[in-house]
Amino acid sequence: MIRVLAILLAFVAPVAFAATEEVVGALSQNKVSITANFDGSEIFIFGAVKRTAPIPEDIGPLHVVITVQGPRQEVTVRRKERVLGIWVNTDSVTVDEAPAYYAIATTGPLTKILSETERLRHGIGFDKAIRTVGARADVEDPESFTEAVVRIRQKNGLYTEADSAINLREDTLFATSVALPANLVEGSYTTRMYLVRERAVVGTTETAITVQKDGFERWIYTMAHEQALLYGILSIAVALAAGYIASEAFRLLRR
């Protein structure tokens, strides 16, 4: 009986202590403006662990996972194959939800510090953040289409994973930085911070980052979406003016 109680206490103790840990975090900025000369930005993320009890000696080490996730989009992925010497589209799969941007920073290798069940529960990791529900039954290897989305967006700097990029001091203070590329889309980006012990999430907090066009780019974007007729007329006028100026310049050069 005593042995059974000891085993139960060994499992219950980490869980009970986890309830006394909370994460508090903040960002260097909560708004990113996309202007004509925007070439990317960097967000500094920092936080602290608030405790109501000392850390037990027999508990596992503390880890921190931080994710920054952009708006979810529907993406159609097509497979190309060579037919009679010509590359043509064959199969296609619609990925129901794929973050436009996704960055992961950790204090250690993600799959080692967090269990597969916890990654699935909280949607942490490229393979867990992308959803493909409606793949056709006749499509061969539908998982490869999801992998293609990840591969292409990693190449474009939109999906990044940085193991051991979080600086954790005395199991209390942590900080890291996340680079935002120039090819961001507008929308609300969510930053989540997770405390991890014994390969399980024991605390989390989140905050939002607003990414939007600003200045002249914002004016053009708003006009195109809210005043389509006026935007079309101005586009034609600009094209006609540019053509007239080019023809006059060419005529003068021929003299």
- Write down the pLDDT at residue 34: 82
Domains of the chain, by residue range, sit at 2-213, 215-255
Question: What pLDDT does 48 receive?
Answer: 95
- How far CA 53 is from CA of 24, 139, 227, 228, in Å, comes to 16, 54, 59, 60
- Residue 154: count of CB within 10 angstroms of its CB: 14
**Whole-structure pTM value:** 0.75
Tens digit of each residue's pLDDT (9 = 90 or more) over 34-65: 877 888 889 999 999 998 888 888 788 999 99
The sign one gets for the Cα dihedral 105, 128, 79, 140 is: positive
pLDDT tens by residue, the chain, 255 residues: 445 434 434 444 444 445 578 999 999 999 998 877 888 889 999 999 998 888 888 788 999 999 999 999 888 877 766 666 676 666 677 777 899 999 999 999 999 999 999 999 999 999 888 877 655 555 666 677 788 889 999 999 999 999 999 999 999 999 999 999 999 988 999 999 999 999 999 999 999 999 987 765 555 666 566 667 766 777 787 787 777 787 777 777 776
CA dihedral 38, 157, 66, 114 (to 10 degrees): 180
Does the CA dihedral 179-185-189-195 come out positive or negative?
Answer: negative
For residues 187 and 92, what is the distance between their CA atoms, to the nearest angstrom?
Answer: 27
Q: Angle at the Cα of 177 (from 123 to 197), degrees rounded to 5?
A: 45
Q: Can you give the pLDDT at residue 53?
A: 82
The structure tokens listed for 243 are: 């053509």
The CATH T-level fold of domain 2-213 is Immunoglobulin-like (2.60.40)
